[in-house]
Amino acid sequence: MFTSEAVIDAVQNGKKTFVNTFVTNEAVKEAMVNFVDTQAEYTKKAVKVGQDTAAVLASEMVKTMQQATKFDYSKFGEGIMKAYQTTQKPAKGA
């Protein structure tokens, strides 16, 4: 299976091959290859940050769901029943 870095490297190597094949001026060729290398480095960093962010978001979502399932519904129901019963008692002297 392809990783994001392998895909980025494949695309950038294709660009460098194109430059090396069709650009004849050595100074221009060197500048363009340097640009492609810098572009690859930036893209890899951007993808890494995106993947790390997605992993943290997923982890926090799982933690939140686990905390939500720990809610004690029976205790909540008992509290509601107690509150309901106290409001249903007849007033003294009535």
The single residue listed with the structure tokens 């106290």 is 86
- The predicted-structure confidence for 54-73, as pLDDT tens digits, reads as follows 999 999 999 999 888 887 77
Q: What's the number of domains the chain is made of?
A: 1
Cα 17-23-28 angle, rounded to 5 deg:
110
Residue with tokens 């905390």: 67
Residue 30: both structure tokens together? 């060197």
24 vs 31: CA distance, rounded Å: 12
Asked whether residue 94 is assigned to any structural domain, the reply reads no
Looking at residue 91, its pLDDT comes to 59
Between 63-67, 76-80, 87-91, the lowest mean confidence (pLDDT) is in 87-91
Instruction: Decide if 48 is inside a domain.
Output: yes
Which tens digit of pLDDT belongs to each residue from 11-36? 999 999 999 999 999 999 999 999 99
Domain that holds residue 58: 4-88
Mean of the pLDDT values across residues 41-60? 96
Q: Residue 84 has what pLDDT? A: 83
Domain membership of residue 28 (yes or no) is yes
In a domain? residue 93? no
